[in-house]
A and B are shown apart, each in its own frame.
Chain A
């Protein structure tokens, strides 16, 4: 069983036990508010985030391997090739190097964003368990004389992104992303003040639900900050910055003055082989993959807008 499934099973189990308790105490308006709370606590899977981070690290490895083995090798192969075409092609290779550097920074930033999301989910789980613990303590104490429960719910989720936002040594895309995420959570109120303060079993359940709804609201604040970070990161690989990660192809290949025949060999070496006469691109523009279900906007205003322009022109 996956870690997520284990968590979900426990949350649904606890939900059912609290529903049972509410039914024993007369349910009232409490019962229907219990399932949405535990449904919210089930959301998020930190283990999947670690899998994604593994994939991103693998992508970084491949990018850097390409940088070392292919781009470096191409520059060596260009030794002795001079002229406008060579300069143009060399410029293209250098832009590709920069693009790989930028993509690596973006991958690092994406890893930080994903780990921030995972930290929010873990903090939410911790808060959820503390809340359940306190509610059970309250109900268990119900047998005592003159009992009254007053237990503070300390919200771990409230400050979880604060640590991310204070990362100081980052550079490039990560700095921008962290700054945006930090501003997004600066107005967050937190749930540290929430308490279970009741003198009846139903009162305990009511306070548990109110405090739980506070935790969920805080999680929404934190995840919206994570979303803001993702949007900021997307800015680095789209729009005007798209050319930085996907440099334009060298002009030499499609220049009007280009003579394919000049790529032939000497007459003697050419022999009876025909000289190249094709005037189309020597290296054709790669075809764009067909759009997936999420490539087109769903809005009424511009339904055909390409949402993922980094795939290149059609």
Chain B
């Protein structure tokens, strides 16, 4: 049974890495990028980035990475530091070495024990979220109208 579990976990690891094997852009640890970095396809960052980062594909932020930028990506796997807001269309995974200072929007999130997250997290694309927003707004308006009647 143990062998089977090990084999399963090995194959799982391969699956998670396959997206990044086909990375079209790699910013290594010994490279500093400044400006609006827009990529198409998968992106791996291990270096220093200042400005903004956006990609249509997946983003992997390595342990040595230091990003001071707003980040947009399809899915993201973060092990390094990010100072800036993040908008992720799909899934966001923060590993135990991840440090994020900024607001995050994502469809789903997975935070490992030890990760640092300082900011507001908004879960996008959920039906309940939209309904609560729609119902809350008219109530607030009613209260204001009642108050206005009392004052008059």
Partners in one complex: no
Residues of B within 8 A of A (CB): none
Residues of A within 8 A of B (CB): none
